[in-house]
Structure 1
Amino acid sequence: MGQRRRSGGSRRERPVKAKPCVFHKEDITYVDYKDYNMLRRFTSDRGKIRARRVTGLCPQHQREAAAAIKRAREMALLPYVAGQ
C-alpha cells in the first residue's frame, strides 16, 4: 500500500506588528544604569536580559540597555539571578 504524503505547505502567520521603542516613545536620550526600576522591565523574572523581539527596543537601545543592566548588576543594583 502506498503511503500518503502530508503537504508541508507553508502556514500563513500573521505579520507581527512592531512595538515602538520605549526610549524613542518617551524621548529618553541616555539609558542610565542607576535607574533600576526602568531596567527591570527589560529583565525576566529569573534575571535574564530579555530579547529584542520581546522588549520592542531598537537595536541601538537594546545594546545600551544590556550594557546598563550589566553595569547595574556589577554595582549590585540588579541581581545576576533571581532569589529562590
Structure 2
Amino acid sequence: MKKKYNKNYNFIKERKKKKKCFFKINNIKYIDYKNSIFLKHFLNEFGKILPRKITKTSLKYQRKLKKAIKRCRYLGLLSYNGL
C-alpha cells in the first residue's frame, strides 16, 4: 500500500483498487466443466488451481471454478499433474 504525507507530515493511507471479477465483467453465469481449454487458464504449470488473488475472481465464482475443474479432471479432460 502506498503512503503519502499530508501538510502536517502524518501518513495517509491510500485506498486499494477493488478487484473486478472476470466472470462478472463478462456476464458468465455458468462455468462449463466440458470446456477444458477455458479452464486451463486458471491452472498453473503444475496443474494446481490458481488462487483468487491471481485470477481476480469473487468467492462465489472461485468455488464454481474449483468444482468445474475437479469434474473435468475426473472425466479425464484435464490432467491432475500438469499441462
Q: Shorter-chain TM-score: what band?
A: 0.7 to 0.9
Please say if residues 20 and 57 of structure 1, whose CA atoms lie closer than 8 Å, have aligned partners that are also in contact: yes
TM-score, normalised to structure 2, is 0.77
Please say if residues 18 and 56 of structure 1, whose CA atoms lie closer than 8 Å, have aligned partners that are also in contact: no
Q: Distance in 2 between matches of 1:27 and 1:34?
A: 19
Name the structure 2 match of 1:73.
73
> What are the equivalent positions in structure 2 for 1:2-41 lying under 5 Å apart?
13-14=1-2, 17-41=17-41
Name the structure 2 match of 1:7.
none
CA RMSD of aligned residues (A): 1.5
- Considering only CA atoms, is the larger Rg found in Structure 1 or Structure 2? 1
Name the structure 2 match of 1:45.
45
TM-score, normalised to structure 1, is 0.76
Residue 56 of structure 1 aligns with an amino acid whose one-letter code is K
Q: Distance in 1 between matches of 2:18 and 2:76?
A: 33
1:65 to 1:19, Cα distance in 2 relative to 1, 3 A: same
* TM-fit CA distance, 1:35: 1.0
Q: Percent of aligned positions with the same letter in both sequences?
A: 37
